Structure 1
Amino acid sequence: MSQIILFDLDGTLTESGEGITKCVQYALSRFGIQEPDLEKLRCFVGPPLLESFMEYAGLSREDAEKAVEYYRERYNTTGIYENRLYPKIRELLELLKVNDKILGVASSKPEVYVRKILEYFKVDGYFQVIVGSELDGRRTGKAEVIEEALRRLDLNWQRDSVLMVGDREHDVKGARECGLQCIGVTYGYGTREELETAGAVYVAESVEDLGILASPNDEETTEHVESVRASGKKRHVRRHRRRHGVDSGTENGDRGAAGTDEQKEKATLVKDGQPVGAKKEEALTENPPENGGAKDGRAAEKNRETAEGARMAAAHPVFRIWRAIYPVLLHYVISILVVCGMVAFFLLADKMAARPEDPQGTARLVQENNLYQILITSVIGGVVMFLLYRKDQLARKAGFLGRRGPDRIWAPPVMWISVIVLGIAGSQFFNDVIWLTRLREIFPGYDQAAASAMEGQPVWLLMASVGILAPIAEELVFRGLVYRRLQDWMAPWMAILLSSLIFGLYHGNVVQFVYAALTGSLFALMYYRTGTLGAAMAGHAAANLWSLFGSGWMQGILENHPRLVPVKLLAEILLAVIPAYWIFASRRKKSEKQ
């Protein structure tokens, strides 16, 4: 099933018929057209207003533009609040997010109204991108709205991973114009015949039927969808779900008559100003929110504008490159400042002890205390980089940054074990390859510097600085910031390659460049496949700790028993196969309970 899902708003996420039809009724009355039957005005729900006034009311373009202005007079103050979420929509969105779907809204309604409605219902956080039309009449066509959503998601060339969900024929036709498949829903304002004629690949009768969208790893479901796409057949979601037992998101997977009851319960008209069958917490009154809500709305709008400005700025190529590079430069500056601080400390100590100035002795002290410099830099740099990383995550959650959502935090225990084993086996294999190529003999500077910095140092300092804190700080810089920021606008494999090269260059000498570039690619792959930066941190820490305390005697095997080299390399490859398969290749199925 598609990984990115775009939803229409009116008739798909929200029951907005009352507010829209009453505002249309008001606009028509300004032209002397009286229509007391709101049911006859339901054709205005969904399509662009300007075209609807021209098509259904017979108005000229000039009069239709006036009608839109009259419509908004009432909608801005009253109509926008005559609205409610469809039952089970919130649960559906939660289910999709839990299954790592990237969600968006593509509506012909003005974007400012779309955001206001979603924020009021407190579901805006589920969507990575929210797109609507402009108040000045631009971008009203469905295809234009969808194209803008794809542009903001940087998915112009990956349309096979995107699916549209809507309730009217213009949703389906707009999606097809953009090269997307569309699922139609009949619990809104369209009919099955209308949707199937327009080309909907599926037609769902209830919100629960859309639970099939949350089945990313169900091979049978995926194969079925692909076969339907290839054949162009239109099948009913419910029929497929019954045959394959796909859970719709309820605890036991048994719908019973819930879908039918919900469809009957759906409001088509209002009585005494309230939608029929609406839950108290989901219904909006005809009155605007209280002052507190208005303040929250203004704050949310301000935050949205700030994030939107950042998103637009981030679209510039120069800014994109700078965003990816400056965390590295900042980390380097922090390390330089720490070294300068240590030099100042030793000079001050000499002065207070009335010792003569000894620049060479000071340089020697700095070199001997290199691990303390690494530890302090990792702590300070790690905090700074975490703040930048957290800021990026908030922007991704709000939908203004990148094509993937924010990182996961939790992962199953088997994942942590896998990345640790893979980190150890992979790092040892790369070290052996470097040894076999004689790079350390050709460029001996690394071994000399490492021996000088680590010889005679306490174990706790080695573990804390090189084994734990440095990997955490470096992963925040090179994977959490550099790699993720590159991936925001380029293919994952390219982001992995470039971030790994930057990681290698940062380490200075040739030996470390090769080793860091190889291991950096491995850590970036861990991050990409697991979705949690903690996986890369765990793999990196395991690799460093093994290099400190385990690789020495393994290196002795290569030097003293050269005939065992092929066996040793093969053992390392085999040791990495199982965790690598689990992380990179396994397509784990979810149980029925999930």
Structure 2
Amino acid sequence: MNNPWEDQQHGGGNENGPLRMPEGMPTGPAVPPAKRRGIWYAWKPLVIKYVVSIAVSMLAVMGYTFYYISKHAGEMAAAMRSQQDMLEFSLSISEKMLQYTTQLEGLSALIVIPIMLYMFHGDRMYDKMAGVAQNRKAPLVKYAAVIGIAAAMCVGLNNLILISDMASYSAAFEQTSESLYSAPFAMQILCLGVLVPICEELVFRGLMFRRMRGEMSFLGAAFYSSLVFAVLHGNMVQMLYAFATGMMLAYVYEKYGSVRAPASAHIVMNLISVTATQFGLYGWLLADKLRIGAVTVVCAAFAATMFLLIQRIDEKPAAPGGTDETNGAA
């Protein structure tokens, strides 16, 4: 297919005159999509995210270590003579960092979000230049179904984890939960409830899933991106939870045509988890088998209803040149 921007550079045009680049577009010819595709293209956002996370953790460890040494110079001089003392010191540093897991996750997300937004915007601009058809953007009024399915899945899946007593078989899950929920409640709301979900949705759905989607079917892209999302949670309990929610979030993104939809759902799920843990909601549910069973069934029915509503959304791209007031920036 001819590239209209290349035609313009070579004096091309049509009966209405020479073609002009739309305002806001970068100048120069469009690059064929194939030149931007490949393994690195899909995985690059994830690599950047974890490089930043590792760097933040390392800087935190170094900073705390130097601070501790400056305050306890005499003790450290004595400890340097014993490998056992040095090992205990290293373990104490690790335990201290675990207490700040939530804050470090939030700081990493705060750094990564602008980078991912820049990459996300670049992908959208490139798609427009290459003539890639965009899915319709669902109106805000239909976001109620996203909030509903997110809330129902969050409570329902957590109830299933409690009923099955799956958490008791995973020491890693218990350690992760303890470290994440040991931070002040306000910090949990900010970091776990807002910053981390936005960051993860930009990485896993806005960039990784979307880039995979350009190479394969929806089911394939959703499966692989959700599998990676799950595995990186590090323990079996969170893996199962993350895979199920990852598939739902990918579907929501596909239907709503905007990364705001899965980001909103993810924020709702995390806020519910943080709040429910803080105020003992899950413990209250688990105290009565009939109660937790009934709530789980209601959640399943409500989530299914919301899914049917979402399924009815028409995500097919608008006709070229047509006007669609729901189409906006993703």
TM-score range, shorter chain: 0.7 to 0.9
Q: Counterpart of 2:242?
A: 516
Q: Counterpart of 2:84?
A: none
- Looking at CA atoms only, which structure, 1 or 2, has the larger radius of gyration? 1
Unaligned runs of 5+ in 2: 5-9, 77-88, 316-323, 326-330
8 Å Cα contact 2:256/2:313 also seen in 1: no
8 Å Cα contact 2:100/2:179 also seen in 1: no
Number of equivalences? 297
CA RMSD of aligned residues (A): 3.0
Q: Helix, strand or coil: the match of 1:489? A: coil
Unaligned runs of 5+ in 1: 1-5, 10-75, 86-116, 126-298
Q: Counterpart of 2:275?
A: 549
After superposition, the C-alpha distances for 1:444-470 in whole angstroms (9 at most, x for unaligned) are 321232113322x22210001100000
Q: Distance in 2 between matches of 1:586 and 1:557?
A: 37
- C-alpha deviation, 1:338, in angstroms: 0.5
Amino acid in the other structure paired with 1:312 = A
- C-alpha deviation, 1:493, in angstroms: 1.3
Q: Counterpart of 1:372?
A: 103
Amino acid in the other structure paired with 2:36 = A
Q: Helix, strand or coil: the match of 1:398? A: helix
Q: Distance in 1 between matches of 2:188 and 2:116?
A: 22
Between structures 1 and 2, the one with greater helix share: 2
Q: TM-score, normalised by structure 1?
A: 0.46
Q: Distance in 2 between matches of 1:426 and 1:353?
A: 48
- C-alpha deviation, 1:507, in angstroms: 0.8
Q: Is the aligned partner of 1:419 residue 2:146?
A: yes
- C-alpha deviation, 1:506, in angstroms: 1.0
Q: Is the aligned partner of 1:473 residue 2:199?
A: yes
The equivalences for 1:139-538 within 5 A come to 300=27, 303-304=28-29, 307-308=31-32, 311-315=33-37, 319=38, 321-355=39-73, 356-357=75-76, 358-399=89-130, 403-405=132-134, 408=137, 411-455=138-182, 457-538=183-264
Q: Distance in 2 between matches of 1:433 and 1:366?
A: 31
8 Å Cα contact 2:134/2:257 also seen in 1: no
* Cα separation, partners in 2 of 1:430 and 1:362, compared to 1, 3 Å: same
* Cα separation, partners in 2 of 1:511 and 1:404, compared to 1, 3 Å: farther
After superposition, the C-alpha distances for 1:268-303 in whole angstroms (9 at most, x for unaligned) are xxxxxxxxxxxxxxxxxxxxxxxxxxxxxxx83xx3
Q: Helix, strand or coil: the match of 1:118? A: coil
Between structures 1 and 2, the one with greater strand share: 1
* Cα separation, partners in 2 of 1:404 and 1:435, compared to 1, 3 Å: farther
Amino acid in the other structure paired with 1:395 = Y
* Cα separation, partners in 2 of 1:501 and 1:523, compared to 1, 3 Å: same
* Cα separation, partners in 2 of 1:540 and 1:82, compared to 1, 3 Å: closer
- C-alpha deviation, 1:521, in angstroms: 0.9
After superposition, the C-alpha distances for 1:467-520 in whole angstroms (9 at most, x for unaligned) are 000000000110011100110110011111111001001111111111111111
Q: TM-score, normalised by structure 2?
A: 0.80
Q: Distance in 2 between matches of 1:561 and 1:426?
A: 20
8 Å Cα contact 2:204/2:229 also seen in 1: yes
Q: Helix, strand or coil: the match of 1:479? A: helix
After superposition, the C-alpha distances for 1:162-200 in whole angstroms (9 at most, x for unaligned) are xxxxxxxxxxxxxxxxxxxxxxxxxxxxxxxxxxxxxxx
Q: Distance in 2 between matches of 1:314 and 1:545?
A: 36
Q: Helix, strand or coil: the match of 2:19? A: helix
Q: Counterpart of 2:16?
A: 84
Q: Distance in 2 between matches of 1:480 and 1:510?
A: 25
Amino acid in the other structure paired with 2:58 = C
Q: Distance in 2 between matches of 1:412 and 1:361?
A: 51
After superposition, the C-alpha distances for 1:379-411 in whole angstroms (9 at most, x for unaligned) are 1111222221111111111126xx543885xx5
Name which of structure 1's ranges 368-377 and 558-567 shifts more when overlaid on structure 2. 558-567
